[in-house]
Structure 1
Amino acid sequence: MIKKSLGAAVALLTIVTISACAKEDAGAGLELTAALPDSVPSGTVLRLGDPAGQAVLQESGIVKELADAGVTVEWANISGGPQSIQAFRADKLDCSAVADIPSLFAAWTGTSTKIIFQSVTADPLEFPIYQLGVAPGTGVAALADLRGKKIAYSAGQAQGALVLRVLKEAGLTQKDVTLVELTSTGDSYITALGSKAVDVAPISAFQVKLYTAKYPGGSSIGTGIRDDASTVYCLTKSVEDAEKAAALKVYVAARTKAILWQNEHPDEYAKVYYQDVQGLNEADAREVVRISGTKAIPATWDNAVERLQATADLLAAEQGHDKLDVTTLVDRRFEKVQAEAAGSAVVTGDAA
C-alpha cells in the first residue's frame, strides 16, 4: 500500500514538474484581437511544415531575415492536410503550408487553427493547380463523361472538395458516380489511375507529367474550376503565444517576399524545389513551373474568405458537417503584414 502511494506521489510530482516546465517554456499569452508584437525574443522557435517555402527562402537568401530577427526555424518535411493535422494534434508543428480545405477539417475534427497567409494564382483559370487524371482506356474527355465513373476521393483534402465542385459543375451528384476513398499522398492517385483502380483522380500539374510518362494511354482533362487557394495555417495556441506570434509576423513577411522571388526566378525555383525536392528532371521541372503560372499576394483577403465560406457550405451539405463560420479560422492581422511586404506587387480584382 505504501509503495503504491509512493509511486502515485512520484508520478504526480513528475506530471506537476512537466506541467510547470511547459508553462515556463511557453511564451506570454496574446489575445487574438491584440496587435502583433514587433520584437522577437531571442531563442524563439517556429516548427514549420513548408517544403516549398523552405527551398525558396534558402535559395533566395531571404531566410536570413528570419535569423536576423531572432527566429529559429525547425523545418519539417510535412505537407498536406492529413499529415499537418496529425502533427498539430501531437504538438509537433506550429504551422503548415496547405490549400484551404485542411483548416475546415481541423475545425470539424476538434483542432483549433488559424490561417495566417494567403497567396493566389494571377490567372487562376488559365493555370489551375489540378487536372483530372484519366485512366487509360476510360474514355473520359469532358466533365459530362464522369457519370458512372469511379473517382478517387479524399474528404479531408483539397482534392476531395474539388471533386464535389466538379460534380456540381457537371450537373451530377455523388449518386451519379462512385467515390473511392483514397488519401492523396505521394503517388497514390497516380498508381490508382495506372492500375485502373479508379477511372478519374484529381492530380497536380507536375503529377500529370509523371503520370502520362509512366502510364502510356493515360490522359487528363481540365476542370474549369478555380482551385488556386494556397495558405499557411497554424495551431491557434501558437498564434496566441506572443513570442511565436512575433516570429510568425517575420515569417509571413519573408514568405511573401519568397513568392515574389520565385516569380522572378522561375528556373531557379524549378531546380531548388521541383528538381531537388520533388525529383523531376530539369525539363519537366521547368515545364511544371511554366504551367503553374505566376503566384500573387492579394491586397485583401475578402475574396479568399468568401470562397472558403462557399466551400465550407458545400462540404457541410455534401458530407454532413456542421455549418461553419470561416471567419473564425482566419487571423486577418497578418493580412496587412503580407500587403506591406508585397508593396506594389499586391493584386486586386478577380485574381484576388
Structure 2
Amino acid sequence: MTFSAARHRLLATALALALLPFAAACGGESSAAEGTGGGKVTLRIGDQGQSLLTTLKVYGQLKNLPYDVKISQFDSGPLVNQGLQAGVIDFGVLGDTPAVLAQASGIPAKVVSVTRTVGPGYTLVARAGSGITSIGDLKGKKIAFSKNTANHGFLLRVLDKAGLKQKDITPVDVPLQNVGNVLESGTVDAATVSEETRAKYLQAHPDAVQVINGRTVTPGYAFRIATDKALADPAKRKALLDFAQRLSTANTWIAGHRDAWVQAYYVKIRKQTPALGRQVFEAVGRTSYVPVDDAVIQAQQKQADLFTANGQLPGKVDLSGQFDPSVSRDFNARTVQKGSSS
C-alpha cells in the first residue's frame, strides 16, 4: 500500500525547497561536510543527533576517503525519510518504525544494513501518582510519544502486549526531543523515553514507575537505508559499500573504548556529565551489525501489520520490496562481523 503519486510529488517539491538550504548550511567540522576535496562522487548522508558523524570521527574513519561525504543532521527518523523522499540525501540512519514508514510511503529506497542493540531501548515511564504500575493500567491514560518514530512503534507493541490499541489511550504526540520535557511537566501520565532521558528523569524523580522497556517487546533493530537511485549508480554504490564498512569498523572500535566514546558523544555532543554518560553507555548495551535476513524482514512486517491494525496505516503494507537480496548480500559482507546474527 502506497500513498498517492501526486502527494509524493508535492511532498518532494516542498521538501526539496525546504531541505536544500538546510543541507547546504550543515557544513563544518561539527555537523557535516567531510571528505577528500577531490573525489568525483559525493555521498549525501542523513544523520540524527550527530551519532553517525561522531561514530566515524572518533576512530578516524572520515580521513583519506576516496569520495566526498556531506553529512546533514535531522531531528528524527521521519525527517530523514522526508530527506530521502525529497532526494536531498542518498543514505539515512533511522529507527525501525521510520524504516517501515519509508516503505509505506513509497520512498524508493532499500535497507542496506541493520544494527541490533541488546539494551532496553525505550522505556515506558509513568510519573508517581499516575495510577500506572503495569501495562494493564494504561487504558485511558495520557501517554506522550513522538508519532511515527521508533518510540511510537515501541508504544504500540506495549499496548498490544496488554491487549490494547492506540485508541484505548489518550495519545499525546510531541516532537522527539520534547518527550522527556512533557513527562517532566506533569501534564501526561507516562511517556516513552530514551535511556538517556530515563536516567535523568529517575535521578530527579526516584519514585517514578518504570513500567516496561524495549528489551521485553522489541528486537532492538535500527536501519541504514539508501535510495534506489544511489544504489543504481555504480560509483555511488561502491562508495556506499565502503562507507557502510567504515561505520561497522568504527562501531566495533567503540565497544572497546568506552571512555573515548563517552567523552566524544555524551559529554561533547550530548552535554552530559562523564558519570551520566558512562551510566547511559553501559545501560544502552552493545550495538552490533547483524545480517539483513528473514528474521529482520519478518520483524519489520509484524510491526507494519501492527500499525495497520491500529489505524496508523490505511492498509496492508508489504515490506519485502524494501529488501533486495543482492543489496543485502553485498552490504552484509562489508558490515557484519564474523559470528554476528540477528
Count the aligned residue pairs. 300
The CA deviation string for residues 241-295 of structure 1, in whole angstroms up to 9 with x for no partner, is 2222111111111111122111121222222122211221101111111011111
**Residues 175, 74 of structure 1: alpha-carbon distance in 2 compared, 3 angstrom cutoff:** closer
Query: 1:321 and 1:206 mapped to 2: Cα distance?
Result: 34
Alignment of structure 1 residues 58-77 onto 2, 5 Å: 58-64=57-63, 67-68=64-65, 70-77=66-73
Could you say which residue in structure 2 is the equivalent of 1:210? 200
Q: Secondary structure at the match of 2:187?
A: coil
Could you say which residue in structure 2 is the equivalent of 1:99? 95
Query: 2:167 and 2:79 mapped to 1: Cα distance?
Result: 29
Query: 1:262 and 1:99 mapped to 2: Cα distance?
Result: 20
Contact 1:117 1:334 in 2 (8 A): no
- 1:327 and 2:320 equivalent? yes
The root-mean-square deviation of aligned C-alpha atoms, in Å, is: 2.2
Match of 2:174 among 176, 182, 190: 182
Q: Secondary structure at the match of 2:226?
A: strand
Contact 1:313 1:323 in 2 (8 A): yes
Alignment of structure 1 residues 95-174 onto 2, 5 Å: 95-121=91-117, 124=118, 127-174=119-166
Q: State the percentage of identical aligned residues.
A: 26
**Residues 337, 261 of structure 1: alpha-carbon distance in 2 compared, 3 angstrom cutoff:** farther
Contact 1:256 1:338 in 2 (8 A): no
Contact 1:151 1:200 in 2 (8 A): yes
Alignment of structure 1 residues 225-304 onto 2, 5 Å: 225-304=217-296
The CA deviation string for residues 301-328 of structure 1, in whole angstroms up to 9 with x for no partner, is 2211110011111112212423122121
Contact 2:157 2:218 in 1 (8 A): no
Q: Secondary structure at the match of 1:133?
A: strand
Name the aligned partner's letter for residue 91 of structure 2. C
Could you say which residue in structure 2 is the equivalent of 1:315? 307
Q: Secondary structure at the match of 1:132?
A: strand
Length-normalised TM-score, structure 2: 0.80
Q: Which runs of 5+ in 1 are unaligned?
A: 1-40
Query: 1:206 and 1:334 mapped to 2: Cα distance?
Result: 34
Could you say which residue in structure 1 is the equivalent of 2:35? none
Q: Which runs of 5+ in 2 are unaligned?
A: 1-37
Contact 1:297 1:338 in 2 (8 A): no
Query: 1:99 and 1:333 mapped to 2: Cα distance?
Result: 22
Shift of 1:55: 0.7
Q: Secondary structure at the match of 2:132?
A: coil
